[in-house]
Chain A
Amino acid sequence: MIVVNCPNCGPRNSSDLRPCGELTPRPDPSTASLSEWRTYLYLRENPAGWVTETWYCRNGCRRYFTIQRNTATNEIRDSEAP
């Protein structure tokens, strides 16, 4: 079981939330080239270690927030709002 700290709702089982994947910087849609945009859409670092990722508090306050999680151990730190 992974416990995620929602900034509003406090510690919750990860099944109460929806993981939205690693945070990838979003290019400006009005200036980005097609290849930059598709890189943003599809390509992922997918590291085995610390990663900053977005979560959605699906069954609680419905807020999006970012946390840092170690994908090798599922250890979590730095729960913060975006």
Chain B
Amino acid sequence: MAKQGYRYSAGKLVKHGLTRGDWPRMWSRPEARSSYDVVIIGGGVHGLATAYYLAKEHGVTNVAVVEKGYLGGGGSGRNTAIVRSNYLTPEGVAFYDRSLDLYNSMAQNLNLNVMFSRRGHLTLAHTDSALRTMHWRAEVNKLQGIDSSVIDPQEVKKQAPSLDVSSGTRYPILGALHHPPGGIVRHDAVVWGYARAADHLGVHLLQETEVTDILCEGGVGPDGKGAGGRVTGVRTNRGDISTPAVVNCTAGWASLISNMAGVPLPITTHPLQAAVTEPCKVFLPTVVVSGSLHVYVSQTDRGELVFGASVDPVGTYRVNGTLEFTEELAGHVLELMPGISKMRLLRQWSGLCDMTPDYSPVMGTTQVDGYFVDVGWGTYGFKAGPVAGETMAETIATGRDADLIAPFTISRFTEGDLVGEKGAAAVGH
């Protein structure tokens, strides 16, 4: 039975301000049941969104989200919070545009301010070939009805006055792909919004619960795992849970979970580092991305500059930051914006990315009945969170891959039908 959710409103804010009463907890910490209709592994944006849409759109509320740490502690809390839909392939464009729509109505639907700021998105071109790819992307985007166009350096300067658009730099700015609907969202709020809404609909959020094995029967591999088998449950550090459906939403750890079901993935795990400066007066009105310089930057509402880069070349599960990263980042950022040379970095961190060979996700049904994947999101998982949740929920509820994710199923690797999205990855990899 769904509980009545606590509504946030201006009236409640005044009431709590005057009475100094405690706000109710955003979600509960239930005891695990012995069985669920669906168990979702991974309590980030993707897992929570899948749980929310399963409960809301398909009436499946006997669902558990199991998370080995705390909600939003992985990639969902470590990304640089940029959203956009100016991708290179029609498949990618259709997918991410739906995600942007969902982000746009999210604050209303989840009754939580996710601070979605559609401030525009600039992808800088420093070479003729990059400029050509921008034109290509702009045309693909326009054909799909996405607001996207190539602008010249003077217009770039108008959009982001702090950029150095002179011709004397090592990587002169020759133009940019301008995408006005792109922007930034507060990523923690998205996690909390989905968690709270899913909890109100009856979904169990089981934190500090680590899956140690996926129980299968009938498969070709050892212990009934692998192709042709079906899922019967999961083993966790808090006991076994029986379930006919398991969803893998674990980003950087996706291979480890998937190997438990005997489904090898085309994924390698790489850390991606990011950093944030001390806050200052807002001077950067748009999101700026430079592929050649391996950097993207935006300024939060608090005034901090948030920098991201490409993934580290060495695949590892270790998430410590490196000096090489900050050195390189500083050099590249100062080339774009010489005026910020006196700013200090506040902190740097790193998150794990599940990289696929074609820079596209692996989603939907697998060769094991009842085992679903929503992985391979690499460096672009956050911006797809809502639509991934929506389409995965449909896939789980109907047992068939939703139309939007059909190009992204795992069978594309055995059939040799990869999706070429590398050209539109945020920065060169």
* Residue from B259, B266, B314, B324 whose CB has the most chain A CB atoms within 10 Å: B314
Shortest beta-carbon distance, B413 to chain A, in Å? 5
Determine if A52 is an interface residue (Cβ-Cβ < 8 Å).
Answer: no
| A1-B265 Cα distance, complex, nearest whole Å | 28
| A18-B315 Cα distance, complex, nearest whole Å | 11
CB within 8 A of B315: which of A1, A38, A42, A71?
A71
Determine if B322 is an interface residue (Cβ-Cβ < 8 Å).
Answer: yes
- Cβ of B264: which chain A residues have Cβ within 8 Å of it? 39, 43-45
A42-B357, A43-B413, A44-B255 are known contacts. Are A2 and B314 too (CB-CB below 8 A)?
Answer: yes
Number of A residues with CB within 8 Å of any CB on chain B: 24
| A58-B269 Cα distance, complex, nearest whole Å | 22
Of residues 293 to 329 in B, which have CB atoms within 8 Å of A's CB atoms?
Answer: 313-318, 322-324
Contact B314 A35 (CB under 8 A): no
Contact A44 B265 (CB under 8 A): yes
Determine if A25 is an interface residue (Cβ-Cβ < 8 Å).
Answer: no
- Cβ of A14: which chain B residues have Cβ within 8 Å of it? 313-314
Of residues 43 to 78 in A, which have CB atoms within 8 Å of B's CB atoms?
Answer: 43-48, 71-74
Contact A44 B324 (CB under 8 A): no
Shortest beta-carbon distance, A59 to chain B, in Å? 13
A14-B314, A18-B313, A42-B266 are known contacts. Are A48 and B256 too (CB-CB below 8 A)?
Answer: yes
Contact B323 A45 (CB under 8 A): no
Determine if B414 is an interface residue (Cβ-Cβ < 8 Å).
Answer: yes
Contact B256 A47 (CB under 8 A): yes
Q: Which B residues contact A (CB, under 8 angstroms)?
A: 253, 255-256, 259, 264-269, 313-318, 322-324, 357, 413-414, 416
- 30 CB contacts below 8 A, A to B, read A1-B323, A2-B314, A14-B313, A15-B313, A19-B314, A21-B268, A35-B414, A38-B413, A38-B414, A38-B416, A39-B264, A39-B414, A41-B357, A42-B413, A43-B265, A43-B266, A43-B413, A44-B265, A45-B259, A46-B255, A46-B256, A46-B265, A46-B269, A47-B255, A48-B253, A48-B256, A48-B269, A72-B316, A72-B317, A74-B314
